[in-house]
Amino acid sequence: METFLIVAGIIGLVLVLMYNNLISKKNQVDNIFAGLDAILKKRYDLLPNFVSSVQEYTAHEKTTLEKITSLRSEAMQSSLKSDSKIALDNQLSQALNGLMLNVENYPDLKANENFLHLQRTLNELEEQISAARRAYNQSVTDYNNAIEMFPTNMMASFMRMERKTVFVTKEGERKNVDVKNLFQK
Amino acid sequence: MTLLSSLMDYYYESMYPELKILEDKRLAIVVKLKKMIFILLFACIGFCFFLIQSGFFIPLHAFILSGMFSFLIYMFIYRHEIAGYKSLFKDQIIEKIIYFINPVLVYEKADYIQEGEYVLSGIFPQNYDRYSGNDLVYGAIDEVSIRFSNLHVEEKRHDKNGKEEWYSLFQGLFFVADFNKDFQGKTFIFPDFAQRTLGIFGEWMQGLNMSKGELIKLDHSEFERLFVVYGDDQIESRYILSHALMERIVDFQHKTGKRLSLSFVHTKMYLCIDYKKELFEPILSKSLLEFAHIKDYFELLALFIGIVDAFKLNEKIWSKR
């Protein structure tokens, strides 16, 4: 009887540890996503100002600016799932990077103090977003490993935990726009 | 290479005339010490015979006692003789090399990084009983404020027999600089022994150590192999440790070949390089008139002063401008 109790106690303890481990990994993903979301929100808040300061000078970038505005409105919907948010953020980053490259064609815009300030802030936010993406990817990898590796996979399938997707950045997007270089041209 | 050749010009044009006088002093000290060794050797033998003759000591004890006695006298004389030379050496060589590398830097041979900064870095949280240092260098390079010095921090411990002994917590170079990004939390980087020796089990153990914050797993394989990172914010630690900075830290680690520990606290970067000896000290056996000897000091100082450039601390992020 005593042996049975000890074995049952050990099994119970292992189950509790496995459960807590899975929950902490899931919460870690949620926490980091919340952090990423907060930085993304800062960028969304900045975009209307950015778009209005750019459109004064850039007649030919109308399509890109409209795309940025519509992506922003889509991304700000609170009902969005994390996967969709990630996809929208990727598209938004791509559109912004393209716009930053085209700024070269507008000398008046390049001289505008307000635009420069917004551009600097966006660049810094881009750095923070990149850090948050890396943190999110690491936490998702840890989470995915935990739900797929034995023996925690059994507990995870019992808890109906599903794989999460990591951020995938296209090769061209990995490199941030070097604005400093751009202006020195 | 260009810097090295201009150092050679500087050495022969600006340093050499004064070094000749210092070299004479060094040679005089060497001769004096050699004489002293000779005299002490005779004195030691004489004292040893006297102790044996007195009948109080067996030959082995008499030999050890007289040997120790002579050694202590020699060390006393050595320290006395070298003190003045050491000071002149630092004035005429170390200070001039620093001036050559970057004239805006200030050198204070007797000063060192203050205890407050050492504690604030959080790299060594242990209590200590003795804190000393020298060779403080400070100033601003490309608007980046830097400070570094030799430090030796020790803790008093007792061995099994209750005998008191001094244990080094840190000995080497302590470097502080403004970091090029703004941040609120703390991030610590230490050499990774556990994961390298114990693999996954080591990593699991590192995860349990919460004294420095959460374990931060990074996406740079070489950096991860060499270091373990802790921080109180997963995102912010990665904001600080961009891929480029991790690459630079790995390069610096390979360049020095020493144990590196870093922390990022209060928008400053703290870097500790273990040397297990005092740097920038004169070596009596080497001639000052040999450029190769002076070059060693130059390379070491250039390495430390070059940290700003090596880590690109001068490339400030927009908000720090």
Contact (CB<8Å) A132/B238: yes
- pLDDT given for residue A92 in this prediction: 86
- pLDDT given for residue B148 in this prediction: 97
**B94 pLDDT above the threshold of 90:** yes
Q: What's the number of domains chain A is made of?
A: 1
Residues in contact with B293: Cβ distance below 8 Å, sequence separation at least 6, in sequence order: B283, B286, B287
Q: Does B318 touch chain A (CB under 8 A)?
A: yes
- pLDDT given for residue A176 in this prediction: 46
Report which secondary-structure segment, H or E, holds A92: helix A82-102
- pLDDT given for residue B58 in this prediction: 84
Q: How many helices (H) and strands (E) does chain A have?
A: 8, 0
**CB-CB neighbors (< 8 A) of B239 in chain A:** 127-128, 131-132
- pLDDT given for residue A172 in this prediction: 46
What tokens were used for A125?
Answer: 């936010």
* CATH number of the domain enclosing A70: 1.10.287
Task: Tell me the shortest Cα–Cα distance from A36 to chain B, in angstroms.
Answer: 8
Contact (CB<8Å) B235/A35: yes
Report yes or no: B209 and B151 within 8 Å, Cβ to Cβ: no
Confidence of residue B100 (pLDDT cuts 50, 70, 90): very high
What tokens were used for A32?
Answer: 């980091």
Q: Can you tell me the distance from the alpha carbon of A75 to that of A122, in angstroms, rounded to the nearest whole number?
A: 17
**CB-CB neighbors (< 8 A) of B237 in chain A:** 135
Q: How many helices (H) and strands (E) does chain B have?
A: 12, 9
- B1: amino acid identity, one letter: M
Confidence of residue A48 (pLDDT cuts 50, 70, 90): confident
- pLDDT given for residue B319 in this prediction: 56
**B146 pLDDT above the threshold of 60:** yes
- The per-residue pLDDT for range B245-262, each reduced to its tens digit, is 999 999 999 999 999 999
Q: Which of B283, B299, B278, B271 is nearest to B100 (CA)?
A: B299
Confidence of residue A70 (pLDDT cuts 50, 70, 90): confident
Mean pLDDT along residues B151-174: 92
**CB-CB neighbors (< 8 A) of B319 in chain A:** 120-121, 124
- The per-residue pLDDT for range A167-176, each reduced to its tens digit, is 776 544 444 4
Task: Tell me the shortest Cα–Cα distance from A142 to chain B, in angstroms.
Answer: 10
Task: Tell me the shortest Cα–Cα distance from B261 to chain A, in angstroms.
Answer: 22
- What's the pTM? 0.83
To which residue do tokens 């009887």 refer? A1
User: Which of B235, B264, B315 is best to mutate for the A interface (most A CBs within 10 A)?
Assistant: B235
Contact (CB<8Å) B236/A131: yes
Residue A120's domain spans which residues?
2-184
- Please give the torsion angle defined by the CA atoms of residues A112, A113, A114 and A118, in that order, rounded to the nearest 10 degrees: 100
Question: Chain-wide mean pLDDT for chain B?
Answer: 89
The alpha carbon dihedral of A49, A114, B314, B180 has a sign of negative
Q: Does B221 touch chain A (CB under 8 A)?
A: no
